[in-house]
Amino acid sequence: MTRDVKIGLFGFGCVGQGLYDVLNNSKNFRADISKIVVKNKDKERPLPSKYFSFDKDEVLKNPEINLITELIDDVDQAYDIVTNALKNGKNVVSANKKMIAENLEELVSLQKEYDTSLLYEASACASIPIIRTLEEYYDNELLYSVRGIFNGSSNFILSKMFNEGLEYQDVLKEAQDLGFAETDPTLDVGGFDAKYKLVIIICHSYGLFVDPKEIFNYGIQNLTAFDMQYAKEKGLKIKQIARVYKTPEDEVVGYVMPQFVKPTDDLYKVDNEYNGVVVEAAFSDKQFFKGKGAGGHPTGSAVLSDISANRYDYKYEYRKRKTDAFMRFTNDATLDVYFRYDKGVALDESKFIEINERYQGAENAFVIGKVNLADFKEDEYFHQKGTFAIELPVE
């Protein structure tokens, strides 16, 4: 049974305006945006002033508004809005992956305590419906792994470097000019954005609440033309991959780092600002999802999907919190890596479990070998200036 939805919207930036567009161009769908709360009183907006408010309580305490849609950048304010709404018996839709990842256990508890619903499909991979797919389609499936390109900005940069032979800094500036990367791009290129999304994916894949600090993320900032040329000579591409998998010992391993990708890998042809996700399971085998990972309309469409689901009182049931309660997260895993270092860095073989291949040139050298994920995460040797690591293909 459906019900009327009266929306209180927080934020009217790229995603907020994208939601407004898709909502007003969707046929046979009824949901009214009652009020939009914004911060800047002087900013010109494409809607009449009557739609806007600068007082959050005008929305949060309005008994006619039954759905809060939070689409702002500020993590602390987003947390305050979402938790207050849930405690006041209002359902919530959010796209704030950092806020959700850092507070997921508490947010799940609040939903149960106040019999409310928090939906956040747009927080991971924008237009790809991966959260609900994992929650519903894979609810009883023996899930082996989820891996993918979760960040459109870094993928745009890597695609341009590979396809046009450009240097990292030049492509980064182009991405910033196009609005794909922020002035401070660390969240995207450093793998933090993908890590927050991975925290959410892990919860819906294996029922675990993992502190983002526990997950290793390694960025693409130190990638050079030498690394890209090596990939081309081997017939590979370099992608920033978020990966989670279950070990035979029922432990869960998850991390974000650059990875060499083969032409046979579904992720090989996922270029520019697109995202791609590969899910592997015992009975449904391998499934591949691809869609735009950034932009107002793709993300707005995911928000609209959650708004539509809310009309039917849909909630995440977090079933795997019960069925997979015996699992635990670990960084005790082995990675096969290409590790490049320049002439100013001395190779320390003791940092590797084993070394299988070596190359020494005038300016650059590399080894291919095995490292422990926990050691790689914590040891400064692997993160010093003049070094870069890429995981070997896992497909």
Q: Which residues are catalytic?
A: 197
Residue 314 burial class via C-beta count within 10 angstroms: exposed 0-12, middle 13-18, buried 19 and up: middle
| Tokens describing residue 353 | 């479990």
Say which amino acid occupies 50.
K
* Residue 184: Cβ-neighbour burial (10 angstroms; 0-12, 13-18, 19+): exposed
Q: At residue 336, what is the residue type? A: D
Using the Cα atoms of residue 218, residue 224, residue 228 and residue 229 in order, give the sign of their dihedral: negative
Residue 359: name the closest of 381, 339, 385 by CA.
339
**Beta-bridge partners for 240:** 258
**Cα dihedral sign for 38, 43, 46, 48?**
positive
Calpha distance 243→76 (Å, rounded): 27
How many Cβ atoms sit within 10 Å of the Cβ of residue 178? Answer: 11
Cα separations in angstroms, 76 against 53, 80, 138, 210: 19, 6, 32, 19
Q: What is the DSSP letter of 213?
A: G
Q: Which two tokens stand for residue 345?
A: 């860095």
DSSP letter (8 states) at residue 380: G
| Beta carbons of 123 and 155 less than 8 angstroms apart | no
